[in-house]
Structure 1
């Protein structure tokens, strides 16, 4: 029953989001979606005035940087993500993997263009994982670094306190975010109100900072600093980190609540705070060392450190849960090995916990904090992954707009060109910091990309070998029934990735056990490039070789957690076979991959795939097949 209800509840959620009103969705979106971009004021202005850029906090420079930040937010976040790219939803879902699947639907299957789009999407997802490592580290460090202003004698405790907060955060993931998530919205509302209040308090000293709304100040900055002025964009990009999250979390709240929250609450609060910091720096240039905390009245600094740490934890939580969602999508689309997925909520299907991703992220984040030790050092590493992901989003958006938006493409495509120019500039600016730390997300992205591509290609080679050595069902069954083996009662379900080939598990069962069940089902599970499989496409049943043999194809969307037994139980409602759970036995083959030279991939990639395949969660567990109804039979395959 739940298999089809997931689809229905999803549709219902996007039409009206159940009984939750627009205001509740806006508050929820503020708590989950805007954590990353909402903590950017902790470090953006501070990073613009580090010695690396050699800028003097004079009148023209401060207004120029404020103008650059404002127009970066307007062009990249407001225009691109909030206004335009949210139109490119894949049946209500967003994010780079959903956008990639949407773009591939516009191209011929198996074409070079579809392959190139797949490569782009995978690389963007790889960079997203890099962002997932850096965001918790830099936001938590930046928040706790407020101690340097409030209590300089506690400087030595900043890194240990940061590590303690992060370890606690990752260790608490297994309990789920449902309970804690209810307080995320109110805490972030208080955070943004505090940002706005601090900004207004400081703007009073120099109201002229509002002149920075004029783009002339941004252009003047480049004219005064020449071509090397572009490098300041390496700090400006920190203000737009989290733009991808607005799109990725669209499926949870819908586009309308996110747009309302951004236009009327988050954007004004952020800009008031940035302008307040700029006003403070104009009044006291020495405040550029940490303008966020120096802008806070002395009596409020310790409460602000606590609030900022809470906001940093919420921002980190959003990135971590986003990594779980992207990982599940990548698993379903066949780009990473299957991993154990735990559901942490009985009510919300999207609340999941992936232990493998969680502990990998935790180790990487801790290593990052211990290596870089300050938010300034981490800021050098931050922008590359963000800029790269944004640029890939723009390229995929242009493809979708050209193919599927005939009316809007006349203005969307020129806007995509503008976005690409801005994001290439961001990429160049961050590339200049390669040796200072920008190498980290690049190396991490390439490692993740290699793993994803190796897994995808390895699966293709494995399936090709199985098909090559396989026997066609249409020729095998008539021969089998000429001299049938002993028949036993019950239903045998043989899982296979190739619909026309006899499953290895059946051949091994006949060879070793010399029996054939009363009913035999050849089951294939397919993943569609839409988030949720429509009810009418969920299940397909065909009778083959008489009444005793059936070919069944079950289809799931890439946002769903596949539950094969539940889907089979629904088949009787569709006029199909009746599956009694206690009379059904599942047979699966567990291939042992052997690396060999002169095949499809270099031998080191063959060996990497063999290791991943050996350690991947069994397909049977991924498809929720009960262990007491399962028989696994081994086979060795060379690739």
Structure 2
């Protein structure tokens, strides 16, 4: 459904949207190879901390009861090598990274990409104010049959939404489990050199580090960003070097594990126990999803380079070296990493490992903040305060309330589970669920958007889907021992997100149904029912079309409005960022002397709503530009050569005149730009009638008067802004209809309103000064 009626103002609005730079121009500048290499180095400190610290606990988690057969080490190493090669390298590095949303990764990015190419969003997102954005990049070559089935299936839309919020909830869960297991496993190494320290002391030190870690979040990762990459580089060199040392000293023969037959032998020899041990082996790729989720900080090539030439080879060396050490000292399983570290290198390695664990935690905590911010902008999470801590990295945000929730949760997890083995059971399930969801969503993108050959899609789904389901089934056997935690947490967060999104959608549809007609506004002003006072009113609404119901409520109670009125709709677009030139979209309610406008403020899930003064300045500047563009001159028929041509009008804006750009409005009301200014739709201007030429000359003489009127109008708006700007927000109490079911009443009347009261309100989100805020109370029955 189009939000804007198909009249002249729609066309002018679309011309305005069309004058912004194209997507090709916006993304024309490519990062140089030197810049890509710099990003590759920086990516070490942001996205590889989790997967890089996995060697601390993989073998210990795989063999919790000890090693009964040394040949099992070859099978375990072979599984580790091929799991990293297939899941991380082939799936993520070669395929998934390319399924990004204008450079941003993660489940929300995949969902927004699918929603833009198919009408599967639960809230309409294919309106003109959505698609007329250069970053939107709608394609028309999608597989139409599959797309049609998706768009007409309520089950498909709901299922896609549910798996998206499930993956988001799992990522938030990773923000709890990663700090717990990483810090606890790093600190546990001290017991190999100080036997007097018990598990209680290790637990206390770990909790202390976690408190410091979460306490430092408010300073932002940008303050230590340059220190991250060198520390992780040292860490990878250390684990790779120690691995090579153990490989050469103890048993270089473990490199036979590159032969996949050892995987078959391992599974045959161990049967059910071998299948159960897959849960520990899977820990070698925890953090792989972070490469995709944190892609927005870097670019695809940078991540590919850093993984291929640093992360991958050093991890293979580390795991091979530990296998060689355990082949000689199988009884030392339990603290394999520190036991295999040479005495001379122990304390430097221990110090760097703690730093690496903290960095790994930092990356996942920041990732949890980022997905919450994205979910909030997509209408799937209650409003919370989001602080951007870095001007350089867009995705680095801090959310105070969520930070305290994560900190308390981490402390409780460490205190309850005490060891990395039990936490690992929970951690693996969360990560594997997210990977499986990513596989399905990328396959859908390959099918509908990329139009990949069906054979390759089937191969992608079968190979990676089977592997991930196999790993997941193994980890679910530890459900009682801790595997229930991520599922319980995910269900809790999904309930919050689902209830919020459901009510948010119902509220939007209620406003859409009860919108105020433009004719009603005209009648109010023309009959002098309301008086005008100096200043600007910004009346906020969730509607992007017509006039919101709050306006009638305001007039009924306060029969005064400011001299300039702007109905503002803050519309979230399912893309990462909206360019400033495309952010504000205006339409004027006629007649012009009323000075009543509608404005859609479009922003992506990574955009920042500016401070009030900056926002006002941007809005007014764009409004003045809109007024300039509305200074149009209608030229009469340009010749008698074609009778039908007399019905055509030439629309020339003052700005376009200076650029010699003219637009033609045909009989159907659409605009087009002719190839040259000497001929319009087959009519040669040199043969135009003298009357038409005289008319053009008269219009040119009147243009200065029109421009003077425009400048007066712009000056009026500027004076009104300087006089006073008032924000009007609807304080809508949302309740279920009297005849609703008991479940619906519980969800809306109690749970939703509890969340709304205890999270941030609109004026706080936009930092609106209370002295200029007018809150209007209303009741919505949905």
Task: Give TM-score, length-normalised by structure 1.
Answer: 0.93
How far 1:525 moved relative to its partner?
A: 1.4
Q: Are residue 30 (structure 1) and residue 44 (structure 2) matched? A: yes
Rounded Cα–Cα distance in structure 1 between residues aligned with 2:758 and 2:337: 46
Structure 2 counterpart of 1:179, from 207, 223, 228: 223
Residues 580-629 of structure 1, C-alpha deviation per residue, up to 9 Å, x if partnerless? 36532111111233456653753332211111112231223323444443
Q: Are residue 166 (structure 1) and residue 217 (structure 2) matched? A: no
1:248-287 to 2 correspondences below 5 Å: 248-287=293-332
How far 1:343 moved relative to its partner?
A: 2.4
Rg larger in structure? 2
Partner of 1:243: 288
Structure 1 counterpart of 2:616, from 554, 562, 565: 565
Partner of 1:96: 107
Rounded Cα–Cα distance in structure 2 between residues aligned with 1:628 and 1:127: 41
Which of 598-607 and 8-17 deviates more?
A: 8-17
> Secondary structure, in 3 states, of the residue corresponding to 1:63?
helix
Tell me if structure 2 keeps the 8 A contact 1:30–1:261.
Answer: yes
> Secondary structure, in 3 states, of the residue corresponding to 2:598?
strand
Which of 296-305 and 398-407 deviates more?
A: 296-305
Rounded Cα–Cα distance in structure 1 between residues aligned with 2:303 and 2:621: 36
Structure 2 counterpart of 1:444, from 489, 493, 496: 489
Partner of 1:46: 60
Tell me if structure 2 keeps the 8 A contact 1:14–1:92.
Answer: no
1:515-534 to 2 correspondences below 5 Å: 515-534=560-579
Partner of 2:197: 154
Rounded Cα–Cα distance in structure 2 between residues aligned with 1:69 and 1:492: 62
> Secondary structure, in 3 states, of the residue corresponding to 1:529?
coil
Residues 509-536 of structure 1, C-alpha deviation per residue, up to 9 Å, x if partnerless? 3233321211111111111111112455
Tell me if structure 2 keeps the 8 A contact 1:493–1:585.
Answer: yes
Unaligned runs of 5+ residues in structure 2 are 1-20, 123-150, 628-713
Q: Are residue 602 (structure 1) and residue 748 (structure 2) matched? A: no
CA gap 1:479/1:627 in 2 versus in 1, 3 angstroms? closer
CA gap 1:199/1:582 in 2 versus in 1, 3 angstroms? farther
Tell me if structure 1 keeps the 8 A contact 2:179–2:357.
Answer: yes
Partner of 1:233: 278
Partner of 2:35: 21
Partner of 1:198: 242
> Secondary structure, in 3 states, of the residue corresponding to 2:174?
helix
> Secondary structure, in 3 states, of the residue corresponding to 2:64?
coil
Which of 600-609 and 323-332 deviates more?
A: 600-609
CA gap 1:598/1:269 in 2 versus in 1, 3 angstroms? farther
Tell me if structure 2 keeps the 8 A contact 1:134–1:382.
Answer: yes
Which of 29-38 and 15-24 deviates more?
A: 15-24
Tell me if structure 2 keeps the 8 A contact 1:106–1:400.
Answer: no
Task: Give TM-score, length-normalised by structure 2.
Answer: 0.77
* Greater relative contact order (CA < 8 Å, ≥ 6 in sequence): 1
Partner of 1:620: 763
CA gap 1:137/1:464 in 2 versus in 1, 3 angstroms? same
How far 1:158 moved relative to its partner?
A: 0.6
Unaligned runs of 5+ residues in structure 1 are 1-6
Rounded Cα–Cα distance in structure 1 between residues aligned with 2:96 and 2:722: 45
Partner of 2:733: 592
Q: Are residue 404 (structure 1) and residue 449 (structure 2) matched? A: yes
Tell me if structure 2 keeps the 8 A contact 1:57–1:288.
Answer: no
Query: RMSD across aligned C-alpha pairs, in angstroms?
Result: 2.4
How far 1:458 moved relative to its partner?
A: 1.1
1:459-474 to 2 correspondences below 5 Å: 459-474=504-519
How far 1:221 moved relative to its partner?
A: 1.1
- State the aligned residue count: 630
How far 1:125 moved relative to its partner?
A: 0.6
Tell me if structure 2 keeps the 8 A contact 1:495–1:586.
Answer: yes
Which of 122-131 and 541-550 deviates more?
A: 541-550
